[in-house]
Structure 1
Amino acid sequence: MRILSLGAAATVASLAALAAPADAAEPEITLRIQNLFSAESLPGQNAAQFFDDLEVMSAGRIKVEPFYSSAVVKSVETFDAVVNGILDGDMTQPSYQTGKDPAFQFVGDLMGGYDTPWQLYAFFYNGGGLELARELYAEYDMRLVGWWIHGQEALSSSRPLDGVASLEGWKFRSPPGMETTIFANMGASPVVMDFTEIFTAMESGVIDGADASNLAVNKSLGIYDVVDHATYPGFHSMPADHFAIRLETWDALPDDLKRIVDVAWQKHAFQNSLSHAIEIDKTANALREAGATLHDWPAEDRAAFREAAVTAWDEYATSEMAKKFVTRHKEFLGRIGLLD
């Protein structure tokens, strides 16, 4: 009979332990996660990859039940649905929660601040933004995992939008929050409505245009089948959608699964931004070829918008947490040379 050495025996024992169903015996955790995008859209496809990564990296210990296009509740109601246990995860927009605290605006969209997703990620991960945001979310029994940024957004319109003067009387869909104040002060007529209502409202002429998302996402929504004007490159908004989990659910996760969620999310977020950068440029070329007009605002008009946005930051920061966010953003923007 062949006798194994102690080292070989230990190796065999280790392999047997890995093959044993111990991990499989651990209870599976099912996360019911809602996002506002369709499954067919680019962010929807990227979200699906993230869900798959979670299941594979956790060896099946994490299962995801996804809900696209805000299938369970309206986009703006997702956060509360998670807090109340209807869902487990929210992949929508922080600024939907400004009614709770205006600080959520500065988590979701500073408006007129950063030029690229990478600058904003740097604020989150290297400028103290993540730590401050997690303090805010914890106040509402939520754990902020992180952000996913789809790139600079475009304003879509049935009429030309070639500068500040063209905003006068322009009736458009706006997300809730500080944006409505900025654009109203510049002569536009923002109308707050759910993301899923945009196409129908534009098609029926209820609104002249929309601030929905970037060019690529807008095209996937069918917006440019209805209107043929857009701003590009974007300048007014670069929102960071969030992924937040009910704090009770997060705390119940073993440490290794928490690490898997964090790592898988960062991979997803960065890949999402890269894929959108490519798609935005491809979409711009396709829209021009199809006869759409893309408006690149002149420097003086962009400066006027940034000035209006900076003024609005201080006006909108009416809570202690919001003031902390504005201060931290300004410090970081100054550090990287985007703000005097």
Structure 2
Amino acid sequence: MKLVKLLASTIISTVMASGVYAGDATHLRIQTHYAAGHPSGKLAQQFADDINIMSNGKISVEMFYSSSVVGTADTFDAAVNGILDCDMTGGIFQVGKNPGFQFLADVMGGYETPWQMYSWLYFGGGKELAQKLYNEQGMEFVGWWLYGQESLTSTRSIANPEEMKGWKFRSPPGLETEIFTAMGATPIVMDFTEVFTAMETGIIDGADASGLANNVGFGFYDIANYATYPGFHSMTADHLSCNKDVWDGMPESHKRIIDTAMQKLAFQTTLSNEKANAEAAKTLLDKGVVLQDWSPEDRAKFRATAQQAWDRWAKKTPEAAALIESHRKYLGALGLLTE
């Protein structure tokens, strides 16, 4: 069924000059991993509508939700190979291609707010470095949309680095496991669908899943009584990246419209999630859940441990080294860097 849908989409899109500037019209096929009904999916649809309206109908976007054409991790390659035109997932899925993508997706232990991270991108030389790495893969980096700091969920207190020792939790693989292992925790990589049962049965003490509002939606606080908030360890960026030939084939006016719509998407994503998380925090406090905000000193300890892992990652590729150096310089300018 998926193949049939893909072939049908390809035929229709070819007729509509997909991904190619034809006459005065551009048609783009974009896939996101978010469901159409998810808050981020709704924002993605607004992004597509904004582009259409601002271009007076000259740019049309065919949005595919819930990774309906190819798997989430394959979206980037599908755009590179022309199955899609643009990828609206995130660079975190491309770390296997180059470890530098980690530092264009989640600078663990780095920035404390999404606004600081956006600032590095637009005013700290980040976009130029991102563009170089994406271009090497045949893609154009357009921008980020960040929902903010993630919160750790726990069935026991994790109010500081000492309480982190021996804490067993669901973790994504890679950089995060290195940092938390060094902190004395026990990260366990598992399928996301197993998290609730694993916490309920005591196999794990908690989980790194998402932001506070999303964690409430997952039902975690039916069994967990602690959460870090507003969070300190992880802030994942989703991206928009497009096939470079497709992007280069569009007129400058179309590129500017898409860039403008992307910056609006970023702004509204961050603001809407801040509101949702604040509302979730009030609900949880009323329920008796303990929200734990690490002190500046404890955050500095985490950041120092994270930097040790960064140093190892900087040795993996020149691109990773350049990105880490750039982040260090900017974090230092913001007064966040721990030497």
Match of 1:33 in 2: 31
Match of 2:73 in 1: 76
Match of 2:197 in 1: 204
| C-alpha separation in 2, matches of 1:221 and 1:258 | 37
Compute the displacement of 1:28 (Å): 4.6
Match of 1:217 in 2: 214
**Higher CA-based Rg:** 1
Q: Is structure 2 residue 263 aligned with structure 1 residue 270?
A: no
Written as runs of structure 1 = structure 2, the 5 A alignment for 1:57-72 is 57-72=54-69
Deviations 1:8-34 (A, max 9, x none): xxxxxxxxxxxxxxx997445132322
Alpha carbons 1:133, 1:144 under 8 Å: kept: yes
CA change 1:151–1:310 in 2 (3 A) is: same
Deviations 1:43-70 (A, max 9, x none): 2222221121112112223222323333
Match of 2:110 in 1: 113
Match of 1:4 in 2: none
SS of the aligned residue for 2:111 comes to coil
Q: Is structure 2 residue 283 aligned with structure 1 residue 290?
A: no
Alpha carbons 1:76, 1:97 under 8 Å: kept: yes
Match of 1:89 in 2: 86
SS of the aligned residue for 1:204 comes to helix
Give % identity: 50
> Structure 1 length as normaliser, TM-score?
0.84
Compute the displacement of 1:226 (Å): 5.2
Compute the displacement of 1:183 (Å): 1.3
CA change 1:92–1:173 in 2 (3 A) is: farther
CA change 1:323–1:28 in 2 (3 A) is: closer
What amino acid does structure 2 have at the position aligned with 1:286?
T
Compute the displacement of 1:87 (Å): 2.5
Match of 2:334 in 1: 336
| C-alpha separation in 2, matches of 1:94 and 1:313 | 17
| C-alpha separation in 1, matches of 2:127 and 2:237 | 12
CA change 1:162–1:135 in 2 (3 A) is: same
What amino acid does structure 2 have at the position aligned with 1:203?
F
| C-alpha separation in 2, matches of 1:32 and 1:137 | 17
CA change 1:40–1:220 in 2 (3 A) is: farther
| C-alpha separation in 2, matches of 1:61 and 1:191 | 48
| C-alpha separation in 1, matches of 2:63 and 2:188 | 29
CA change 1:222–1:54 in 2 (3 A) is: farther
Written as runs of structure 1 = structure 2, the 5 A alignment for 1:106-255 is 106-192=103-189, 197-198=191-192, 200-205=193-198, 207-225=204-222, 227-255=224-252
Compute the displacement of 1:278 (Å): 1.7
Compute the displacement of 1:124 (Å): 0.5
CA change 1:173–1:90 in 2 (3 A) is: farther
Written as runs of structure 1 = structure 2, the 5 A alignment for 1:10-21 is none
Match of 1:10 in 2: none
What amino acid does structure 1 have at the position aligned with 2:197?
S
Alpha carbons 2:31, 2:69 under 8 Å: kept: no
Match of 2:9 in 1: none
Residue from 88, 93, 98 that aligns with 2:95:
98
Moved more, 59-68 or 256-265: 59-68
What amino acid does structure 1 have at the position aligned with 2:324?
V
Alpha carbons 1:151, 1:277 under 8 Å: kept: yes
CA change 1:87–1:210 in 2 (3 A) is: farther
Match of 2:4 in 1: none
| C-alpha separation in 1, matches of 2:91 and 2:22 | 36
Kindly report the root-mean-square deviation, in angstroms, between the aligned alpha carbons of the 2 structures.
2.3
SS of the aligned residue for 2:242 comes to strand
CA change 1:24–1:111 in 2 (3 A) is: closer
Q: Unpaired segments of 5 or more residues in structure 1?
A: 1-22
Q: Unpaired segments of 5 or more residues in structure 2?
A: 1-20
Aligned positions, number: 313
